[in-house]
Amino acid sequence: QVQLVESGGGLVQTGGSLRLSCAASGGTFSTYAMGWFRQAPGKERDFVAVISWSGGSTYYAGSVKGRFTISRDNAKNTVYLQMNSLRPEDTAVYYCAADHDGSSRRRDAKVMDYWGKGTLVTVSS
């Protein structure tokens, strides 16, 4: 069983930056692919980014590519999401998720094994 706890959300102005963190415990973090998803009010949970177990492969949703960067530190059991040039449409609850597959191929929320409780990001215009 893997427990995930997100942090780093908050209120930021358009064009600003935030770095989200997701700390893992209770499992072998370094074997899991890690993903970030987000859910805006009244909408489905959408894929944002994924990183393979080694950190050697990443993939981004088109809407965040070039603005967001996913990274991980296996020594600290933590995955990060650096978010730059934030826009009001980035406002959502951001969730991290763990996938036993380990690769960056899977980006469907339905296949993720473990989830955090989320952290709210609000971008004001």
Q: What is the pLDDT of residues 71-116, one digit of tens each?
A: 999 999 999 999 999 999 999 999 999 999 999 899 999 999 999 9
Q: Span 35-47, mean pLDDT?
A: 97
Q: Is 41 left (phi over 0), alpha (psi -120 to 50) or beta?
A: beta
Q: Span 24-43, mean pLDDT?
A: 95
Q: Span 55-62, mean pLDDT?
A: 96
Q: Span 59-77, mean pLDDT?
A: 97
What pLDDT score was predicted for residue 1? 87
Helix (H, G, I), strand (E, B) or coil at 125: coil
Q: How far, in Å, CA of 32 to CA of 114, rounded?
A: 10
**pLDDT at residue 27 tops 90:** no
What pLDDT score was predicted for residue 97? 98
**Mean pLDDT for the chain overall:** 96
Q: How far, in Å, CA of 56 to CA of 45, rounded?
A: 25
